[in-house]
Structure 1
Amino acid sequence: MGRLFGTNGIRGIPGKDLTDELVSRVGHVVAARLGRHIGLGYDGRLTSPRLSDIMVRSLLEAGSDVHLIGLAPTPAIQLSIRRGGYDGGVVITASHNPPEFNGIKVMGVGGLEITRSMEEEMERLILSRVPLPSTSIRGTLHPVTDSIEAYVKTVVGNVDGDRIRRRRFKVVVDAGNGVQALSAPKIFERLGCHVTPVFCDVDGAFPGRGSEPSAEKLTALAENVVKVQADLGVAFDGDGDRVMFCDERGEIHTGDRAGALLLDFILSQKKGLKVVTTVATSSLVDHVTKKNSGVLFRIRVGSVDVTQKMVAEGAIAGLEENGGFFYAPHQPVRDGGMTAALMLDALARWERPLSEAMATLPTYHQRKGKLSCPDDLKETVVREVKALADGHVDTTDGVRIEYDDGSWAIVRPSGTEPLMRVFSESQDVATADRLYVRYYSIVESIIKKAQKMTNLV
């Protein structure tokens, strides 16, 4: 069996690679390594309640007390783990993956995702089949009933509520049938907004527009923003830790442009603050950080890594290109609800619409794509792309190729799906297109060649 923990926890298809036995084994290892008090929550996927039941049983059998947070956004579960002072926690979720998938995220003290070294240690125990320490003391189950309300209050308390309420914003909320449907509308209503809901019923089949808030899937959001003359549209992923934004004219903005705008808002309030981002994020982040005399750290892709680097460096914020934003004064984890509230705070302070605020940022042209790639071919692709690269090579995560004019491209394996991702960026649109076509074609050719050789064998 290959590596269990990917970029963000364990993912798989229940009954296939995410078996009941594996889920139970994870529970026993969590109890053995993290401690007596474990918080447990889950997203709205159809298989989440059953997998949660299996996890509860295994944790109780291993002697841990389970604090059952239940159905909630991942950041709300993380906050509940921190507020409860638990030794750690488990979230049953597959985030943005298709509905047939599910997964497991393991949290440590404070609701922070466990470190990569802890993942490796747990993985060895899970896969080793070595009998784990047994106990005659069975844990007890404790329902947690206030996680959503506590989360809403905490998010609202981390922005200037009075300033936002004076603006009486109109907001369209697209929860994508995910669990932010339970909290995001409440956050906006507490901030004095008029809310128009879209796909705000929790449904693990994600019938509205799927669990991934990519721009091409957000037509209903954009149409509703224009129809009701809203100030802002927001769209969340399946477990509610990421958000994408739509301006008042119906234009969807990329995760890193929206994140850079929020950075400008946060960093402008105090010079010298630290920020963490990944090698796949726009150079716009460098521009905004430098403009505000901040300090930027670029690391590998993964919310685990961003959180750990933020904690280590004392960074105020972190961001990813996919709409993940981390705000340390709230909690140093991806949090879609907190990010959306921060955007309202920024717009209220600037007293300008989102389209005008975005227009203050310089333009960087991007191309993004993905190709199906079996997991066992990913290392081959990375190795061969590196050999063919014609610029400065950075191998922090996959292969990032940088050029003297500031343009760049990156080829990296997905840590959650059998995919290779190809991004390019330049301030010249033709260059961004050329780099994207070059590296996409290279990756495509490598995969086809490797698969042809495999078929011959």
Structure 2
Amino acid sequence: MSELKVSISGIRGIWADSLNLQNILNYTKAFAGYIAKIGGKRVLLGRDARPTGHLIANYVASILNAYGIDVIDADIIPTPTVLLGVRKLNFDGGIIITASHNPVEWNALKFVKKGGIFFGEKELKSILSFVQKNIKEKPYSKVGSYLKDNSIEELHIKTILENIPFKTIQKKRFKVILDPINSAGSKITEKLLKKLGCSVFMVNGEMNGRFKRGAEPTPANLKHLPSLIKKLKADVAFAQDPDADRLVIADEKGNVLSEELTLALAIDYVLSKKNGNVVINLSTSSLCEWIANRYNSKCIRTKVGEANVVEGIIRHRATIGGEGNGGVIYPGINCARDSLAGIALILSLLAERNKTVSEIVKDYPVFTIRKEKMEFKGDLSTKLKEIEKCFPAKIDERDGLRLEWEEKGKKIWLHIRTSNTEPVIRIIGESEDEKILKNSIEEIKKIIRG
């Protein structure tokens, strides 16, 4: 049996294996206990389109109702839309049924707290404390109510339009290709783009949960876009993951950009309007720091995970933040990774500067980033101590091990950590010198293999 992943990224596993009806009951009941403890009553429910989503959603709603919680079910809807809905409509919490970028056989419960942000490590412990408690069902006269309502979709679009120069975008009449991977971003993102005056060509647009490409929107999974862009003479292409919190861009020449450039472009636009602190995680490209420096803004790093970055954004009153996996967090719209907000910000950048994506990106320095993962069973802390001794580096141990140093006049950083979402170790590194980076990562992999 595979391992059930329990972290700030959700209760995540493979359906009918590590994720089953029993542990869905246990963790949903625990969430109901937490909601009751804070005096809450109303919960917003949403999901992505994967095939197990409807049955898990129905089960979760029934469990919550049994414990006296009223449920509004938004059905198939992006994760950031649920987060925005919890905040704007003053829900006491939310549950999103999605395994985000994981393959289709995975699913998860993601818990949202009042205010519309994910549970951090402390709050998650509070929920987990209820797992073993005996929580009694409510009598028939006090069970919760259930209502289907996806009107938060329009609220999300309205909030975005209120915070961008939409008339400037409309005048450009952009031709856009959208790949929402047959899931939650399909309808709402098309609606947003049309309100922005774009002509939209959809690929993988049917919202049936049968993913026709790899779930993670990376260049390796988007090889179908270059020929489409050239054929349609599109200005830009956008690709999302199944719950539409991540975004990847392809330029007008058919080049699928690194997911790291999504956040960089959004930061560039936002800081050109208002400088301020930027918060990113320990695994995000140094390009974001370079852009922040250009606008005399400070760039602060946090542990990996949306909840950690959002916590940093709030603490440092940041203007913008995010993660290098294509996750743009712009608190002016939504304090969550939000692909729709990212699309709006990037179209604003293109419209106001009257430049193409490639023209903007060519002015950025080139950093080589490598992202690798490997299976490992054993004591990782011992291996990290061994790795630490091999490099003359500045050390950060907040989230696994991050090393940063200079070699031959070139900066390099490496980050080794256990994944929050998969049973693997992630090794991410970046440098201006590709050879040094490659050799360093191979040395680390050799140490881990033992």
Q: So what's the TM-score if we normalise by structure 2?
A: 0.93
Cα displacement string for residues 160-212 of structure 1 (whole angstroms, at most 9, x for unaligned residues): 11100111111110111121012111111110111111101123231x11211
Q: Which residue of 2 aligns with 1:411?
A: 416
Structure-2 residue corresponding to 1:392: 394
Picking from 51, 54, 62, the partner of 1:57 is 62
Letter in 2 for 1:199: N
Mark the CA change 1:381 to 1:239 in structure 2 (over 3 Å): closer, same or farther.
farther
Q: Work out which of the residue numbers 109, 112, 121 in structure 1 matches 2:117.
A: 112
- 2: distance between equivalents of 1:384 and 1:124? 35
Contact (CA 8 Å) 2:4, 2:12: kept in 1 or not? no
**Do the aligned residues in 2 keep the contact of 1:222 with 1:233 (CA within 8 Å)?**
no
Candidates 178, 185, 210, aligned match of 2:183: 178
Which position in structure 2 is the counterpart of 1:248?
Answer: 252
| Alpha-carbon offset, residue 69 of structure 1 | 1.2
Matches within 5 A, 1:23-422: 23-34=24-35, 35-126=40-131, 129-136=132-139, 137-206=142-211, 208-271=212-275, 273-374=276-377, 377-404=379-406, 405-422=410-427
Give the drift of 1:125: 1.9
- Once residues 119 and 262 of structure 1 are traced to their aligned partners in structure 2, the CA distance between those partners, rounded to angstroms, is 30
Cα distance, 1:15 vs structure 2: 2.2
SS for the counterpart of 1:66 is strand
Q: Is the contact made by 1:177 and 1:202 (CA closer than 8 Å) also made in structure 2?
A: yes
Deviations 1:379-429 (A, max 9, x none): 454344334444222112111111134211121211110111112211122
The residue number in structure 1 matching 2:439 is 434
CA positional deviation for 1:255:
2.3
Asked whether the 8 Å contact 2:280–2:299 carries over to 1, the reply is yes
Deviation per CA, 1:263-298: give whole Å up to 9, x if none: 121112223x11110111111111111111112210
Displacement of 1:438 in angstroms is: 2.3
Closer/same/farther in 2, CA of residues 54 and 377 from structure 1, 3 Å limit: farther
In structure 2, the residue matched to 1:453 is none
Distance 1:380 1:229 in 2: 53
Measured in 2, the distance between the counterparts of 1:241 and 1:33 equals 26
CA distance in 2, matches of 1:165, 1:173: 17
Aligned residue runs from structure 1 range 5-20, under 5 A: 5-20=6-21
TM superposition shift of 1:67: 1.1
Q: 1:7 to 1:64 in 2, by over 3 A?
A: closer
Number of aligned residues: 440
The C-alpha deviation readout for 1:297-316, integer Å capped at 9, x for no partner, is 10110001111221222212
Contact 1:66 1:141 in 2 (8 A): yes
Deviations 1:189-241 (A, max 9, x none): 110111111101123231x1121111111011222112111110110001100
* Unaligned segments of structure 1, at least 5 residues: 447-457
Compared with structure 1, are the counterparts of its residues 390 and 432 closer, same or farther at alpha carbon in structure 2 (3 Å cutoff)?
Answer: same
- The question of whether the paired residues in 2 share the 8 Å contact of 1:32 and 1:133 is answered with no
* Partner amino acid, structure 1, of 2:198: C
| C-alpha RMSD of matched pairs (Å) | 1.8
Q: Structure 2 vs 1, CA of residues 315 and 86 (structure 1 numbering), >3 Å: closer, same or farther?
A: same
Give the residue type in structure 2 aligned to 1:252: V
Q: What stretches of structure 2 of length at least 5 have no aligned partner?
A: none
1:121-144 residue CA offsets vs partner (Å, 9 max, x unmatched)? 212322xx2202543321111221
Counterpart-to-counterpart distance in 2, 1:264 and 1:94? 30
TM-superposed CA distance for 1:90, in Å, is 0.4
Cα distance between partner residues in 2 of 1:176 and 1:143: 24
Q: Which amino acid aligns with 2:53?
A: S
Q: Is the 8 A contact 2:8 2:121 kept in 1?
A: no
Measured after TM superposition, the shift of residue 148 of structure 1 is 2.0
SS in 1 for 2:342: helix
TM-score (norm 1): 0.92
1:450 is matched with none
Give the letter aligned to residue 164 of structure 2.
V
For 2:380 and 2:218, the matched residues in 1 are separated by 24
Q: Quick one: distance in 1 between partners of 2:29 and 2:7?
A: 20
Using the alignment, how far apart are the partners of 1:431 and 1:210 within structure 2? 30
Partners of 1:244 and 1:47 lie apart in 2 by 26
Rounded to whole Å, the distance in 1 between the matches of 2:126 and 2:236 is 44
Does the residue aligned with 1:94 lie in a helix, a strand or coil?
coil
* C-alpha deviation, 1:432, in angstroms: 2.3
Give the Cα separation in 2 of the matches to 1:275 and 1:80. 25
Contact 1:255 1:320 in 2 (8 A): no
Percent identity between matched residues is 29
Give 1:378 shift: 4.3
CA contact (8 A) 2:3 2:13 kept: no
The DSSP-based 3-state class of the residue aligned with 1:268 is helix
Higher helix share: 1
The corresponding residue for 1:22 is 23
CA contact (8 A) 1:73 1:179 kept: yes
